[in-house]
């Protein structure tokens, strides 16, 4: 028969493993298509400006690295730092993980809030692109 102590140790190990698994999530790379409105296609400069506005709305620091690429960095709660590349064309953009600190990242998995913060950035950029498209109508 299993002793009470052995059972408690096994339960503690299982609980610890479960909690450890919850501490990270797979890194997502949001990819978004920019809908084309006939006769109202955004220029690269307009897409770039919308991306910068979307990042600034979420308190990300945006810096143009090269044509079609902006690097975005944010610091959350004064202790989590995230850097991503926003690669874009006139028809799409993607947000790709670059680096982080205090986010338990191994390059594949990361602190689960990373995905929330990156999706919020993606949604803000999409909103700004939609506003830019509406202003061309």
* Residue with the larger pLDDT of the pair 5 and 13: 5
Bridge partners of residue 130, in order along the sequence: none
Cut 0.75: pTM above it: yes
CATH code of the domain occupying 26-135:
3.30.310
Ranges of each domain in the chain: 26-135
Residues 81-118: tens digit of each pLDDT: 999 999 999 999 999 999 999 999 999 999 999 999 99
Task: Answer yes or no: is pLDDT of 14 > 50.
Answer: no
Count of beta carbons in the 10 Å neighbourhood of residue 90: 14
Residues 121-136: tens digit of each pLDDT: 999 999 999 999 988 7
Task: Find the mean pLDDT for residues 15-30.
Answer: 70
90: closest CA among 27, 136, 121? 136
């Amino acid at each position: 028969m299993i002793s009470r102590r052995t059972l408690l140790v096994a339960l503690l190990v299982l609980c610890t493993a479960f909690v450890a698994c919850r501490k990270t999530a797979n890194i997502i790379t949001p990819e978004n298509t920019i809908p084309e409105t006939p006769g109202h296609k955004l220029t690269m400069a307009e897409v770039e400006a919308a991306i910068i506005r979307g990042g600034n709305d979420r308190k990300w620091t945006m810096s143009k690295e090269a044509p079609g690429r902006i690097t975005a960095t944010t610091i959350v709660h004064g202790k989590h730092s995230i850097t991503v590349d926003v690669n874009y064309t006139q028809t799409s953009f993607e947000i790709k993980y670059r680096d982080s600190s205090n986010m338990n990242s191994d390059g594949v998995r990361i602190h689960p809030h990373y995905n929330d913060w990156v999706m919020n950035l993606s949604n803000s950029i999409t909103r700004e692109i939609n506003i830019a498209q509406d202003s061309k109508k």
